[in-house]
């Protein structure tokens, strides 16, 4: 094909290689261990499948990954079905998976174990979150299929055990696509309207695939969030689902759920009779005890007139003691009052106020004299300082006919002709005004 010289682009070469690979490896089963798993926002799964001697990049696109019942994890041994292709942008060959399953264990069983472990870690199976069932529910809600044997078994048992209980049925699909969504929606609807006291959620027996709707996370979380107690009744006694672990009570069969949720009329009659008998016996014991106590109190009861006489005598004694105590307290209080009145007169506040007023007047006069002296002294001192400043002021010197000469270039005061050269410009300041001059000639003092 390439006997003569023919130059092709990298894209053309890659495309040819991809066509050859895809034509020869269109339907391939391969097994290996998952590593470098990545799940971006697109929903595709990217990972490397490897064994002891080699590795290959793999991709499971979103459309195929959405139907997976289990979660792919690093280190998991998988069996994949798909085709080999070439990713042009990197020039790498890769395996495009269309189906995958765990090696050595069924996909549904693995998904069951993974979800059970996840929900157990979150506490959805904790006994502390289980709600107690009502003793005698007035209305029971049932979430199941109306075409299966489960609803017939439940209704038969309920009619036999307690025909007066009301039943509300929410028909749902119990297997296949969309069954989990219908079951969880029915549970939420019952909780929204709160028309029942307890819920039975379940179906008859079947294979693991048939019962799978009750292993979905959607149903488990709806049961856990239910404010109404939930009895799970799925399949036969040997069948266990995620719903069984989350529910407030697991019934081995739908019929057993009906027996657990209500007691038979005979059981209620027997229980009521037992409670009535126990109540009668308790009341007899209480009345007998009260009767004995009353008779004992009557035998110990004495003549009331005698008790009244004793009490009146006691009152007289207490009255006499109170009178003596009050008279003593009054005399003592009178003496204290006289003493306090004398002390108060001696310490008349008016005298103290007068003495403080005199001291305040004297202090005020002293303060006024001191302030006048300080002001006069400060005034004299300021006059002396002003005279001294006037003598030392440059303005006084200028007033006597002197002037100040400054260099216009730097603004320095000129104190000697040595600081100037002919042609320099100077500023001469007088007492009133100033002049700008140019030096024509200089005369230095010898």
Low-confidence ranges of the chain (pLDDT < 70): 1-4, 104-108, 263-273, 277, 299-310, 345-348, 351, 391, 445-446
Cβ neighbours for 96, distance < 8 A, ≥ 6 positions apart: 58, 59, 61, 82, 83, 84, 85
Contact 444, 418 (CB under 8 A): yes
Alpha carbon distance 436, 395 (integer Å)? 19
CA 274 from chain center: how many Å? Answer: 50
pLDDT of res. 280: 78
Residue 182 falls within a domain, yes or no? yes
Total domains in the chain come to 4
CA-nearest of 195, 188, 249 to 219 is 188
Give yes or no for a contact between 100 and 58, defined as CB atoms under 8 angstroms apart.
Answer: no
Run of H or E including 132: none
Q: Is the domain of 92 the same as that of 121?
A: no
Cα separations (Å) of 198 from 57, 127, 164, 202?
52, 18, 15, 13
Distance between CA atoms of 162 and 259, rounded to whole angstroms?
10
Domain finish residue from 220, 238, 266 = 266
CATH code at 179? 3.40.50.261
433 falls within a domain:
yes
Measure CA 441 to chain center: 95
The token duo for 168 is 């509300």
Q: With respect to residue 225, please indicate whether it lies within any of the assigned structural domains.
A: yes
Contacts of 116 (CB under 8 A, 6+ apart): 242, 245
Residue with tokens 């104190």: 415
DSSP letter string over 180-248?
HHHHHHHHHHHHHHT--SEEEEEE----TTTTGGGGSHHHHHHHHH-SS-EEEEESSTT---HHHHHSS
The secondary element (H helix, E strand) that includes residue 425 is: strand 425-429
Question: pLDDT at position 267, please?
Answer: 60
Q: What is the largest CA-CA distance in the chain?
A: 151
Token pair recorded at residue 2? 């390439």
Domain boundary among the residues 326, 355, 372 is at: 372
**Amino acid 6: pLDDT:** 81
Mark whether 246 and 345 lie in a shared domain: no
Domain annotation covers residue 185: yes
pLDDT at 107: 63
**79 and 167 together in one domain:** no
**Is residue 80, in this structure, part of any structural domain at all?**
yes
271 is a domain residue: no
- Cα separation of 284 and 287, whole Å? 5
Using CA atoms, how far apart are residues 414 and 427, in angstroms rounded to an integer? 10
Domain boundary pick from 76, 104, 132:
104
Residue 62 is assigned to a structural domain of this protein = yes
138/191 same-domain check: yes
262 and 343 in a single domain? The answer is no
**Helices (H), strands (E): how many in the chain?**
12, 13
- Contact of 149 with 258, CB cutoff 8 Å: no
Tokens of 156: 């038969």
**Same domain, yes or no: 89 and 123:** no
- If 0-12 CB within 10 Å is exposed, 13-18 middle and 19+ buried, where does residue 244 land? buried
CATH number of the structural domain spanning residue 28: 2.40.50.140
Helix residue ranges per DSSP H, 52-148: 62-65, 107-122
Task: Write out the residue range of the structural domain in which residue 412 sits.
Answer: 399-438
142 and 78 in one domain?
no
Residue 152's Cβ-side half-sphere holds a number of Cα atoms within 13 Å equal to: 4
Torsion region of 278: left, alpha or beta (phi above 0 gives left; psi -120 to 50 gives alpha): alpha
Is the CB of residue 72 less than 8 Å from the CB of residue 32? no
Instruction: Tell whether 117 and 259 lie within a shared domain.
Output: yes
Say whether both 140 and 254 belong to one domain: yes
197 and 178, same domain (yes or no): yes
- Residue 302 confidence (pLDDT): 63
Q: Are 186 and 202 in contact (CB under 8 A)?
A: no
The DSSP secondary-structure symbol of 128 reads G
What gap in Å lies between CA 271 and CA 278, rounded to an integer? 11
Q: Could you tell me if 166 and 22 lie in one domain?
A: no
Closest CA to 214 of 254, 256, 169, 268: 254
Give the global pTM.
0.45
Q: How many CA atoms lie within 13 A of 83 on its CB side?
A: 14
> Alpha-carbon distance 428 to 403, whole Å?
7
Residue 343 lies in a domain: yes
Based on the fold, state whether residues 235 and 141 are members of the same structural domain.
yes
């Amino acid at each position: 094909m390439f006997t003569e010289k023919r130059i092709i682009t990298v894209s053309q070469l890659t495309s040819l290689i991809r066509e050859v690979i895809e034509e020869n490896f269109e339907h391939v089963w391969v097994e290996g261990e998952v590593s470098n798993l990545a799940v971006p926002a697109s929903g595709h799964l990217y990972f490397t499948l490897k064994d002891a001697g080699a590795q290959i990049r793999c991709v499971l696109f979103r459309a195929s990954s959405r139907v997976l019942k289990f979660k792919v994890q690093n280190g998991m041994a998988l069996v994949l079905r798909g085709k080999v292709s070439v990713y042009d942008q990197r020039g790498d060959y890769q395996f495009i998976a269309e189906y995958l399953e765990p090696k050595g264990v069924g996909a549904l069983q693995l998904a069951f174990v993974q979800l059970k472990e996840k929900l157990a870690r979150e506490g959805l199976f904790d006994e502390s979150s289980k709600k107690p069932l009502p003793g005698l529910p007035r209305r029971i809600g049932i979430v199941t299929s109306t075409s299966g044997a489960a609803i017939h078994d439940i209704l038969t048992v309920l009619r036999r055990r307690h025909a007066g209980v009301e039943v509300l049925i929410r028909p749902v699909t119990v297997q296949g696509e969309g069954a989990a969504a219908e079951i969880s929606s029915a549970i939420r609807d019952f909780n929204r309207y709160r028309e029942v006291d307890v819920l039975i959620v379940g179906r008859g027996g079947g294979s693991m695939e048939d019962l799978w709707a009750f292993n979905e996370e959607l149903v488990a979380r709806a049961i856990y969030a239910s404010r109404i107690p939930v009895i799970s009744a799925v399949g036969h006694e040997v069948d266990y689902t995620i719903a069984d672990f989350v529910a407030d009570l697991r019934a081995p069969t739908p019929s057993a759920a009906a027996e657990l949720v209500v007691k038979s009329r005979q059981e209620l009659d027997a229980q009521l009779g037992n409670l009535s008998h126990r109540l009668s016996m308790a009341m007899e014991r209480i009345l007998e005890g009260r009767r004995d106590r009353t008779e004992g109190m009557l035998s110990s009861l004495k003549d009331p007139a005698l008790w009244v006489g004793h009490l009146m005598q006691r009152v007289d004694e207490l009255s006499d003691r109170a009178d003596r105590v009050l008279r003593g307290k009054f005399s003592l209080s009178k003496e204290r009052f006289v003493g306090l009145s004398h002390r108060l007169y001696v310490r008349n506040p008016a005298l103290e106020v007068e003495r403080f007023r005199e001291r305040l007047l004297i202090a005020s006069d002293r303060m006024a004299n001191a302030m006048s002296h300080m002001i006069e002294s400060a005034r004299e001192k300021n006059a002396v300082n002003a005279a001294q400043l006037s003598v030392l002021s440059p303005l006084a010197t200028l007033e006597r006919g002197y002037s100040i000469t400054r260099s216009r270039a730097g603004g320095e005061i000129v104190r000697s002709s040595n600081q100037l050269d002919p042609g320099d410009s100077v500023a001469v300041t007088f007492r009133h005004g100033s002049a700008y001059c140019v030096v024509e000639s200089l005369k230095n003092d010898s």
